[in-house]
Amino acid sequence: MLYYLFEYLEKMEIPGAGLFQFLSFRSALALISSMLITMIAGRPLIRFLQKKQIGEVVRDLGLEGQYQKKGTPTMGGILILGAIIIPVLLFAKVDNIYIILMLITTVWLGFLGFADDYIKVFKKNKEGLSGRYKILGQIILGLMVGLTLYMSKDVVIVENVQSDILIGCIDQTSSQNEQNETAADLFGIKSTKTTIPFLKNNEFDYNMLVYFFR
């Protein structure tokens, strides 16, 4: 949310507001905020869960030492969700399709985990959420994310091109803004390619695996 506030302040020519436009700066703030949330809220949350006797229910598997885990505070995923979602809402550009998908995925899987813990703790069912419902929930989420990535016009890949090729493709008589828009139209395209972090030649095309999309 703060992204839009500082975007407005930058338009008002407030000194230093433009720093918030840098992704690296906002990422650092999100990292620090996440650590602070975990450090500040972690111990009180654990004590609260212990006080309410919200602890791990252990299944009898006949294993030695298995009951040592009994009473361990569960539902700690609430802290993890908070440490992820709050910084994202504060510092990310929340109308970005990738941010929206990340939030939906995090909340969806967090809800499955919460349902599993709730059944174990409050319903006294050691099995927790049925495995078929866990798989079903993950399949539905996977279909939602996959279809969104495939169908959304906002999900594009920008190809790396040589500057002379780019210049040759754009009318030199057009304005700078028109040239930028034309470049986006030319090279911001739908693609089955993705990138693999930390590798030099890091492009991978899913089309190599999914033949029926050819």
Does 114 lie in the same domain as 50? Answer: no
> What is the Cα–Cα distance from 8 to 62, expressed in whole angstroms?
62
Residue 165 domain-assigned? yes
Question: Within a 10 A sphere around the Cβ of 176, how many other Cβ atoms?
Answer: 7
How much is the pTM? 0.70
Half-sphere exposure of 86 (CA within 13 A, CB side): 15
Give one DSSP letter per residue of 37-75, joined into a string.
HHHHHHHHHHHHHHHTT-BPPPP----TTGGGGTT-B--
Q: Distance (Å, rounded) from C-alpha 26 to C-alpha 87?
A: 9
138 shares its domain with 201: no
> Do 163 and 150 belong to one domain?
no
Taking only the tens of pLDDT, the chain with its 214 residues reads 888 888 888 888 888 888 888 888 999 999 999 999 999 988 888 787 777 665 555 555 555 554 455 555 566 788 889 999 999 999 999 999 999 999 999 999 999 988 888 887 777 777 778 889 999 999 999 999 989 988 888 887 766 544 444 445 545 444 544 444 444 444 567 777 777 877 777 778 877 776 655 5
Number of separate domains in the chain: 3
Q: Which ranges constitute the DSSP H helices of the chain? A: 2-11, 23-51, 77-91, 97-121, 131-151, 163-169, 176-187
pLDDT score recorded for residue 39: 92
Q: Alpha carbon of 186 to those of 42, 95, 159, 180, 193: distances in Å?
A: 49, 23, 9, 10, 16
Residue type, 96: N
d(C-alpha 109, C-alpha 103), whole Å: 10
How far apart are the C-alpha atoms of 4 and 11, rounded to whole Å? 11
The DSSP call for residue 207 is G
Domain residues for the domain of 31 are: 1-55+68-93
Among candidate residues 155, 183, 198, the one where a domain is terminated: 155
